Structure formats: structure tokens, C-alpha cells
A = this chain, B = another copy of it.
């Protein structure tokens, strides 16, 4: 039932996206078709689904939030395309990354075009929502984009070795900005504000969305270590090769003996191409020895429990409905993905 609704939302959003992106004509082959590449791969469309469900749960219609939900999926895919370039990732959703297929030049432009077309999509809101709400949506997107680029800059500092996270707190701040704003906080706030929810209700979505989004991201990091690549779609251990500072590696470093820690630091200081199979094996072992996967799962569970309490206590103003129930199930699904 939940998965059916999620799939329906996805089909609607991708259909709308296709309407915004021409599939023929002079620019189709090297611009518009590559823009549709990632969206058409196996993705869940969590972000638009959250936005659509929240809007309806708060009394709005599906149509009210439709352009915004579509734009969120475009921004998300733009972010993935550029993030894959930044991380030198090889695969995404089970296939080669866009820049691996077409080169960095084309992929950079495709990401820019997705961002800009998403903005165009938001402009279609004026007819339905009126000028003022259409602009409020763009303001929220602008805030979201600012959080994402700041979060990205924290992580790039770590990967480049310019700085290192001191502990779980730093990891959670990075994730709050890089992931949870555009994955949970903004989609939910947008759904609510499009439905004309009272502005003083919007603040509570920030700690709530942070908890769901961070649990989701930690789960994603765990899957990258223990998941099956065929199901998960990214390279297993890809995060280790890229030098990502996940909660697990931060924990493992903090709990390793001095010589292990020194070797871990040395491995993380190497560029991706210089990391050997032995290096990766050493990191995996250190993470195992420190119990860092269990530690990360515990943090995710604590965030989840706290998010569930907040949903019950602070969002009672959203009346019971199939849409509210969908969000309930969505929270469960996002943080306990069966991969």
C-alpha cells in the first residue's frame, strides 16, 4: 500500500519532469536526454513524495505541490550529478555515473541545466499558487541550496584533508546541511507552506527533518559498507575509497590504538587512486574491531525514536488522514530500508 503510493507519486513526478524536458530536437542528445538519465534510473523519489504527502496532509491538493515536488527531484538529481564529479564516483544506481559516460564537461553542464530548469519549473507555480506563495517557495529553495552548498564545502574540506571532523557532532552538522535540508526539511516545509500551514508551524520541521534525514544518511553509509552492490547501486566500499568521513570511520579512529589510528589517518590522506586493496581491507577491519557499525546503527535508532516522538507530540495539528499515515510509513521506510 505504502509502496504503491510511493510508486504512483514517482510515476507522476517523472511524467511531469518529461513534460518540462524536451526529448527531441537539436539539444536532446547532449543535454536533455542526459538530464533525464539519473531520474529515470531506479530511484525512490522520496523527496517529492514527502512534499506531496505533507501538502495533502495539511489540506492542500496534489496539484498544488506538483511543480514544486518535480523541481525538488530535479535539484536532487543536479546535486547527484555534480556530487559524483566531486567524488570521482564510478557508479550510481547500478550504472556508470554521468561523467564516467560522457565526460566531466558534459556532466557539469547537465547538472547546471537541471538546476536552472528546476527554477523554471518553480515559476510555473504562479498560476496555481499566486505570486506570493510562488515566491515563498523560491525563497525556501534558495535557503535549501545555501545549506547544501555549505554542507558540501564541509565535506570537501574533510576529503581534501584540509580539516578533519572531531567527532559525531561534526558529522551530524555536515549531514544536517548537506543532506537533511534538501532530503527532508525543505520537502516537508514546502509541502506545508504550499498548503498554507501557519508560518509558526514551519520551524518544527527543522529538528524533525534533521532526525529523519540523518538516520537515513547513516543507514545509507552503513549500506555502503555492508550492502550488496547489485541491490544498492553504488560501489560497495565506495565511501572508503572516496575518503568520506562517515560516522563509522570517525568512531573507529577515535577508538583505535595510536598505531592503527596513524595508519588510518595516512590512508585517509591518500588520493583515491593511490588507495590499495590492502588499505581498504585495513579500514574495514578497524571499523569491525571498534564495533563502529553497531555504534552508527544505535545513533540512527536514537534519531529515529526521537523523530517519532516529535511527529506525535509536535505535529498533532496535522489531522489523521491517509496522507498523514503515508508520512508515518515513509519515516519507517526511509530509516529501515531493506537493502
- Taking Cβ atoms with an 8 Å cutoff, the residues of A that contact B are 26-27, 30-31, 82, 85-87, 103-106, 108-109, 111-113, 115-117, 119-120, 123, 126, 131-132, 134-135, 138-139, 141-142, 145-146, 149-150, 152-154, 156-157, 159-160, 162
Contact = CB atoms under 8 A, between A and B. Distances in A.
A87 B26 CA distance: 22
- Label chain A's interface by main secondary structure: helix
Contacts of A82: 108-109, 112
Contacts of A138: 119, 123, 138
Nearest to A160: B103
Given A146-B117, A146-B120, A27 B153 contact: yes
A288 B126 CA distance: 55
Given A123-B138, A135-B134, A159-B105, A31 B150 contact: yes
12 contacts: A27-B150, A85-B104, A105-B156, A105-B160, A106-B156, A106-B160, A108-B108, A112-B149, A119-B119, A119-B138, A123-B135, A135-B135
Assembly stoichiometry (copies): 2
Contacts of A119: 119, 138, 141-142, 145
5 closest Cβ pairs, A-B complex:
A86-B105, A116-B145, A113-B149, A31-B153, A131-B131
A145 B152 CA distance: 23
Most-contacted residue by chain B among A27, A104, A117 (CB, 10 A): A27
A153 B86 contact: no
B115 A115 contact: yes
Nearest to A105: B86
B157 A30 contact: yes
A109 B83 CA distance: 8
A138 B118 CA distance: 12
Given A113-B149, A116-B149, A142 B156 contact: no
B109 A152 contact: yes
Given A82-B108, A113-B153, A119-B141, 5 more contacts: A85-B105, A106-B153, A109-B152, A112-B115, A115-B116
Contacts of A145: 112-113, 116, 119
A72 B145 CA distance: 18
A135 B115 CA distance: 17
A126 B142 CA distance: 14
Contacts of A115: 112, 115-116
A63 B203 CA distance: 33
A104 B83 CA distance: 11
